[in-house]
Amino acid sequence: MKRIAVVTGASAGMGRDFVIAADREFAPEEIWVIARREDRLVALQDDVKAKIVPLALDLSKPEAWDEYSAKLEAEKPEICLLINAAGYGKFCTFEKYDLNEQLGMIDLNIKGLTAMCHRSLPYMKEGDKIINLGSNSSWQPVPYIGVYGAGKAYVLSFSRALGRELKTRGIQVLCACPGWVRTEFMDRAVNDDTIKYYDRWYESKDVVDKAMKDLRKGKTVSICGLPVRLQVFMVKHLPTDWIMSIWCKQQGKP
């Protein structure tokens, strides 16, 4: 039985850096890389030792989950590492922004991630790992990023619950919750000046390396950077209305 890693959202940003880290840390025979842009997936072979298996799928679509399942059933590998890094955000006023775009966030960020976990688990065993990509937005309601933030709150809650269920199987689940990261995610997320204030930027590689370090330590949540950790501490101890008011004031909103 061959050992593989599976990485979604692998064509750019943190997904790409997770592919490189998975190759370095787990030495799988193959890495199944999933995203819509096949040419970028193929190009990943230059960065890793493992064989790259590109799967050009749109994980917001149920037919993509079925295609992935069919490939698993045909090859019956062991998934030593599943990384769900696919997702996108839109910074916008909820009532004024396109509904289909906002529902698309739910389809990919929530449904796609959930489906990938469910379809992958029959091919995982004791010692295997799952990393789900959350966000600093996972910890609080975030006006003007409401749908995205709520989706990432789901990812954090789901990851923690799933990790507890899988303890009996010896499978670890970690949720990485980064702050602002310089990737192509921001190119799609930012449409106007709805969000104006970004307190601190992090590099994708640093977030990924921290997640891998925390995975080795057996942690369930990974937070890169002391400022982000302090924000999370505040969110846990201050009233939610206060936290939203601080955020809105930073963004010049009432």
In tens, the pLDDT along 72-123 reads: 999 999 999 999 999 999 999 999 889 999 999 999 999 999 999 999 999 9
Q: Tens digit of pLDDT for each residue in 137-193?
A: 999 999 999 999 999 999 999 999 999 999 999 999 999 999 999 898 988 888 778
3 state DSSP class of 2: coil
Looking at residues 215-231, what average pLDDT do you find? Answer: 97
Q: What is the pLDDT of the chain when averaged over all its residues?
A: 96
Q: How far apart are CA 115 and CA 63, in angstroms?
A: 11
Cα 202 to Cα 13, 91, 206, 232, 237, distances in angstroms: 12, 19, 7, 16, 25
- Region of 169 on the Ramachandran plot (φ > 0 left; ψ -120 to 50 alpha; else beta): alpha
Beta strands in 103-225 (DSSP E): 129-133, 172-176, 180-181, 201-202, 221-222
Residue with tokens 């749109």: 58
* pLDDT of 234 higher than 80: yes
* pLDDT of 54 higher than 80: yes
* pLDDT of 194 higher than 90: no
pLDDT band at residue 71, thresholds of 50, 70 and 90? very high
Query: Contact at 8 Å (CB) between 199 and 219?
Result: no
Query: How confident is the model at residue 182, as a pLDDT?
Result: 87
